[in-house]
Amino acid sequence: MKTTIVAASLLMILSALAGSIVRYGEPDAPKPISVRILAEKDIKEGFKHDQKRKQIQRSIKIARLVYRQLGCRPTYAEATGRIAVEYNLPARLLAAVVFVESSCNPNAVSDRYSVGLTQVNPKYHRYTRAELKDPQRNLEIGASILSRYIAQYGLVKGLHAYNGFGNPTDEYSTKVLVAAGMKIEVKG
């Protein structure tokens, strides 16, 4: 009788194992692949998006490098890189302007009441102080102003205009360009 119970138990265990092997041994059928045919326009847009994403990533790396070389924390490198691409500015130039203007201090306020990372004056540029105290918004506003001046006057005079045309020399633009690590051609 014991032998019959042991044999029956063994048979149940083996059949249970065999059943589980059969159940789990067969893989599920793969799900059908869905294919979307892309138009040429979609492919071009995707390519442009990828190129812009790569350009932003390069700009972020450059901004991070410039901030570190100038002794600043790279806290605003991501915003600087993205905004530089958005406003068609070299990231190293925008990072250098931030360094020269505010020493990378988002709470900087000058004796002429210019505010934030890019030292935008609310009196002349008609933005609120609260808006200019937001580092992200300050970078966007400063980049917009700088981009417009460079388009209008060229690089050196555009930097001079950004500085308010105060000093008649190229001292400010030279300081920014040296901080950016950009070549300066001396005419003469």
Q: Is residue 137 part of a domain?
A: yes
Q: Which residue has the higher pLDDT, 144 or 185?
A: 144
How far apart CA 160 and CA 154 sit, in angstroms, is 10
Q: Is residue 13 part of a domain?
A: no
pLDDT band of residue 150 (cuts 50, 70, 90) is: very high
Q: Is residue 165 part of a domain?
A: yes
pTM over 0.85: no
Q: Is residue 3 part of a domain?
A: no
Q: How far is CA 32 from CA 35, 37, 47, 178, in A?
A: 9, 16, 27, 59
Structural domain that includes position 95? 45-180
Burial class of residue 175 in the structure, from the number of CB atoms within 10 Å of its CB (0-12 exposed, 13-18 middle, 19+ buried): middle
Q: Is residue 153 part of a domain?
A: yes
In the chain, pLDDT over 70 holds for what percent of residues?
84
Q: How many domains does the chain divide into?
A: 1
The whole-chain average pLDDT of the chain stands at 87
Q: Is residue 15 part of a domain?
A: no
Give the pLDDT confidence score for residue 20 in this predicted structure.
52
Q: Calculate mean pLDDT across residues 181-187.
A: 72
Give the pLDDT confidence score for residue 41 in this predicted structure.
85
**pLDDT tens digits, residue range 114-128?**
999 999 999 888 898
Q: Is residue 37 part of a domain?
A: no
